[in-house]
Structure formats: structure tokens, C-alpha cells
Amino acid sequence: MIPSELAGKRIAVVNWRDPWHPAAGGAETYAWQMARRFAAAGALVCFVTARAPGQSRRQTVDRVRLARMGGLFTVYPLVLLWLLRRRSRFDVVLDCQNGIPFFTPWVLHRRTRVICVVHHVHDRQFGVHLPRCQAMLGRFLEGPASRWTYRGRQSVAVSPSTVAAMRERLNWLGPIAIVPNGVEPGGTRAARSRAPKLVCVGRLVAHKRVDLLLDAVPELRARWPGLTVDIVGRGPEEERLRARLPEGVTMHGYVREEAKEELISTAWLQVNASQGEGWGLCVLEAAALGVPTVAFDVDGLRDAIRHGETGWLVAEGADLAKGVAAAIDELDGTQSEKCRGWAAGFRWDDSAERLAALALGRPVGRMRMPGWEPT
């Protein structure tokens, strides 16, 4: 239960996008789930974010006030200016880092409690998405600039992988607590398809490496001719990927939550070929529906998957087709219940309770989940 002392606290949740932004992903889900639960507990919450075309500047949803401004990069200076004008209004600011934080301590009173929320370290992804000079700037802002700005401030990571990356690759100095992603209880699973069926859910961006899955399909269909793949999500890579879809693959783009759950629940396996995540919320969502995931043994995904129980981890650089084939061979019906049991240990209410305690300046206990190391 969220502490009653949170009621009346003035909280700003600063995040790159909101859940209704066309480019929204797991980080937006996390920020929103925290914001709406804080508001339900009586806090005065403002969600400050970018504004996509067609979105209103002001809106209130689930008692959370949304303030939207700026675009891909202009959101950063505009949010800082917005906070500077209101620097005395907030008791707590959740500064959510999506590669680059908002550097909110620069414009806030020292007495304002700032918590930097880090999903995963982006240093290796800057080179995938940006030209060399911009990538270097991104690494500087994520590394030395952030380390100096948030020194002594409380930080939050969503997984042990993120904690390790912050300490080892960013040389992060301040205290870091783990507040994991959560998931809503899974519904009744639809009947599994007769022929092998795979599903891939996520943003269609370069570091998700959906190409690796498409490359694996012909080999998998050579063994299982009826095998099909459903790809759910949208992003800048969508048009290019559509142009090279092999037989048996359907790209659905954006679908409503109910349709997404049906596509997942009828699958034999989910496949995630990402080069690294903070956690991989789609893994937990699939597990809640009883569907295991095959992924590479990389940051975040190695935390979200219990190898051999709730999914399978393939060595980075290994043949994905062989890894998926081996997983299909090992499916015996026991993984579904193990998936549900694993997902049941992660609830948004529990995560919000941990984050609320930090917002009030209280210590939180160590994570008690199997395989998780204390911070």
C-alpha cells in the first residue's frame, strides 16, 4: 500500500513521451503506471512530456494533469524552462532518463527531492541510431554530465542489469534502488495455435533487431512448414521491414490491447532479438499470459527470463533460428504455469509502493525475487 503521507505531495513526473504518443513504449507505461497510482493515493501529480502532432497541450486523465510541450529534442529545454517557472511548486520530481535525462536539478530548489529513473544504459545504442558526433554527445550527456548532475541524488533502476551498467559503464556514484516493472494479472489464455506460432512485440527500431527474426523464419519453416510469425508494434523501421517480410510473417502494426493479448496468448513462443533492454516489459506481459520468450542473453532480458523455465536465453551472436528451434523442441506444457507464477511476482502496485517510499525519503528493502542481486 502506498504510504498515506504521499497524499497532498506535489509530484512532477518528467518523461520523454506519454503512453498515447505514437512512439511510446515500455518506459512510458512505467512512468504512467507510477503517476496514476500516486494520484489515486492523493498526490497532486503532473506528467510533463513531449507533444505529438494532434495531442492537446493540457489534459487530465485518471487525476493526473498532463502538460505537453516540444518535440523529439526541443522537449528538453522547454521542460526545464517550464520547471524553472514553477520551481517552488513541487516536492518531488521523477526525472525519467530515456538515454538522456532532463537534468532537472539544474532548475529546481535543492530541497526538492529528485529521483532519476533509469531503464537502461544507452551508450551502445547511440551509435546505432545517431551520426558519430551526435552519438558522442549522447554518451557525454548520459555519462559524465549525468553523473555530475545527479551525484548524491537517489536513482532508480528497473533491473540488476541496469544497476551494473550504471556502475560499470557510467561510473554512477549515487545510491541506486531497484523498482521493477509490473504487469496486470494475465487473462484467460486463448487456445494455442495448432502449428508453431511465434510473436514479436515491441517498437520497430534498429536496436530491437527484428531483422534477425525475419532471417530465421525460412530455416524454421523448412522444418515446420506451417510455422507463422506475428509482429506487433510500430516505429521508424516499419516500412523497411514490411518490404522484406518472408512468407509466413504478418506485420500488424499498432493493435489495441485486447487484440495484442490474443495474438500473444495463441503463440507458442515470443521472440525478442533486442541488443539490450532495461527489462523487457513485453517479456513479463507474455509471461502473464503463459507464453515463454526466447531472447539473447543481454542486459535486461537476462533478468526478465528464467532460462529453461519461463523462456530461453540464446548466447549473443549465436544463431537465432537454432535457438528458437531448440526452444520449440523443449516445450512440454510446464512452462506456461511457470511463466504465470514468475509474472505474478511483479505488480505495478508493489512497484509504486517502493517508489513512493523513496519519494518520501524512506529506505526500501532488497528485492526478494529469485536471481535478483541486492543493490
Within its chain, how far is the Cα of 313 from the centroid?
19
Taking all residues of the chain, what is their mean pLDDT, rounded to a whole number? 92
Share of the chain above pLDDT 70, in %: 95
Same domain, 209 and 164: no
User: Structural domain tally of the chain?
Assistant: 2
Same domain, 214 and 160: no
pLDDT digits (tens, 9 = 90+) for 95-153: 999 888 999 999 999 899 999 999 989 877 776 667 888 888 888 998 899 999 999 89
Residue 302 placed within a domain = yes
Residue 371 placed within a domain = no
Tell me what pLDDT residue 204 has.
Answer: 93
Same domain, 141 and 239: no
Residue 87 placed within a domain = yes
pLDDT-derived band at 184, boundaries 50, 70, 90? confident
Same domain, 158 and 284: no
pLDDT-derived band at 187, boundaries 50, 70, 90? low
Nearest Cα neighbor of 103 from 159, 151, 161, 67 is 151
Same domain, 117 and 216: no
Same domain, 171 and 215: no
Same domain, 218 and 80: no
Same domain, 27 and 152: yes
Task: Tell me the C-alpha distance between 69 and 48, whole Å.
Answer: 8
Name residue 105's amino acid: P
pLDDT digits (tens, 9 = 90+) for 216-241: 999 999 999 999 999 999 999 999 99
Same domain, 106 and 205: no
Range of the domain at 308: 197-343
Residues ≥6 apart with Cβ < 8 Å to 250: 228, 229, 230, 231
pLDDT exceeds cutoff 60 at 23: yes
Integer-rounded Cα Rg, in Å, for the chain is 21
CA distance readout (Å), 31 to 94, 287, 329: 9, 21, 38
Same domain, 24 and 137: yes
Same domain, 95 and 205: no
Residue 304 placed within a domain = yes
Question: pTM of the full predicted structure?
Answer: 0.89
